[in-house]
Amino acid sequence: MSIVIGEVAEELRPAEPIPEGGHVQGPRAGWRLALSSFVENKLAVVGSGIVIFFVLFCFVGPFIYRTNQVDTNLLNSFQAPSSQHWLGTDSYGFDELGRIMKGGQAALEIGFLSSAIATVLGTLVGAVAGLVGGVIDGILMRFVDILLSLPLLFVILIISNRYNGATVLSLSIIIGAFSWLVSARLVRGEVLSLRVRDFVLASRTMGANKRHLIYKHLIPNALGVVIVNITFQVADAINLLALLGFLGYGLNYPNVSWGDMLSNALNYLSDGYWWVVYPVGICLVLVVMAFNFIGDALRDTVDVRLRRR
């Protein structure tokens, strides 16, 4: 047995000194990490593509593919797709493709607007309930419970029946006013779990007030679930709008929604006028699905806890 117990001299120390705390790995911005994980999700990329396509299609499309969507022309009704009317015409003689664009505008506008209303309202109520707690939390959440137990569709039908002349704005407000409940619950839960986390305690030991806690820690950290929820809310709003339209409580002339179009068209499906049903139906399904894809991918992306080092 022979062990060489080498007396290693001082000059044999590592060539370059290591920082006392060790090196820090190379720079990677948070948003880039998020983007890369978002892009890795193929469905999310497809979903974003579809949404971008539809935004361009509905809002830029009418400037390229010009159609008359104001005057009915019964002589021109139920034309089959041709070079003049790419997707044919409907029962009033409106160009179907142009009509889908116009309906899409309404769908996207109402989708975004109502989800914006719902998110702001829901986040506010949820954050207050979660942070303040106690009696206020109890009252707000019972209020949410009561609203959730109302048959939403009835209420909307009654309101839109009572006030004639539904516009994009009024419908957005109605839908928004009824869909903030879910986000209020979500945000409250998130805030409840965040407010007892160590980094919030650390901030309190520095002397931070409630305002600072809300803006610096609670909102940025709860934002993830809120953003994810927005996408699902857009999808839900578009579906709800279609349903209202289908039931005949949608937008009034000259506005149109995909729901109205479907409801009109179904009467003629048996007559073989397929172009008044399938294109608009496919559009509706595609847009709603795309928003759901994006929501799923965002959920994975914004959650820092899931990120790989």
Give every CB contact of residue 31 below 8 A, 6+ residues apart in sequence. Answer: none
Q: Which is nearer to other proteins, 204 or 299 (CB)?
A: 204
Which residues contact other proteins by CB under 8 A? 1, 3-6, 8, 12-14, 17-25, 27-28, 30, 197-199, 201-209, 212, 216-217, 220-221, 304-305, 307-309
Cα–Cα distance measured from residue 309 to residue 300, given in angstroms and rounded to the nearest whole number: 15
**Closest distance to other proteins from the beta carbon of 3 (Å):** 5
Separation CA 270–CA 233 (nearest Å)? 34
Do you find a cis peptide bond into 254, omega within 30 degrees of 0? yes
Question: Are the C-beta atoms of 250 and 166 separated by less than 8 Å?
Answer: yes
The minimum distance between CB 275 and other proteins, in angstroms, equals 45
Which is nearest to 176 in space by CA: 266, 275, 109, 131?
Answer: 109
Report in angstroms how near the CB of residue 34 gets to other proteins at its nearest: 11
Rounded to an integer, what distance in angstroms lies between the CA atom of residue 24 and that of residue 230?
Answer: 36
In this structure, are residues 119 and 109 in contact, taking their beta carbons and an 8 Å threshold? no
Q: Least distance from C-beta 40 to other proteins, angstroms?
A: 8
Instruction: CB nearer to other proteins: give 216 or 299.
Output: 216
The DSSP secondary-structure symbol of 26 reads P
Residue number with CB closer to other proteins (27 or 254): 27
Give 43 or 243: the residue with its C-beta nearer to other proteins: 43
- β strands within 156-198, DSSP E: none
CB closer to other proteins out of 195 and 247: 195
Least distance to other proteins from the beta carbon of 15, Å?
9
